[in-house]
Amino acid sequence: MSPTHFFDAIALVAFLEDFADRIYHVHIKDSIRRLDGRHSILSLHLSFGDRRRGWDFVSPGRGGVDFEQIVRTLNQIGYEGPLSVEWEDSGMHREQGAPEALAMVRKVNFSASTQAFDAAFTRKD
């Protein structure tokens, strides 16, 4: 996982598990953080895209969010709702970024298995 990850993957998975019965719609959004001693973690008074910000939104798949782990967890909790791309990236043209983000979501959004891997090897006589 990227060191620029804005959220802790374990916290995201725990949130999904804890609130499984209350998740009806999932937005796919990504971010980076730049904590190098020159940037603040908040910097909310600065416009998106300003290099002085401590964090910013980027095109999904180009930041630090582990989308595969999120999809795996959504599959485990039985989520069957939509995955909506919420695209915000001040540093990338939307005509490139939005289709790229959609392709990333389609790639990572796999169906859950209907059985455990080793169950496929169980003989039924």
pLDDT tens-digit series, residues 60-74 = 999 988 999 999 999
- Give the per-residue pLDDT at 100: 96
DSSP strand E in 15-108: where?
A: 26-28, 30-33, 55-58, 83-85
Of 7-16, 41-50, 95-104, the one with minimum mean pLDDT is 41-50
d(CA 30, CA 90): 12
> What tokens appear for 43 in the block?
């910097």
Helix (H) or strand (E) holding 27: strand 26-28
- Give the per-residue pLDDT at 125: 64
Whether pTM > 0.85 for this model: the answer is: no
Task: Give 85's DSSP letter.
Answer: E
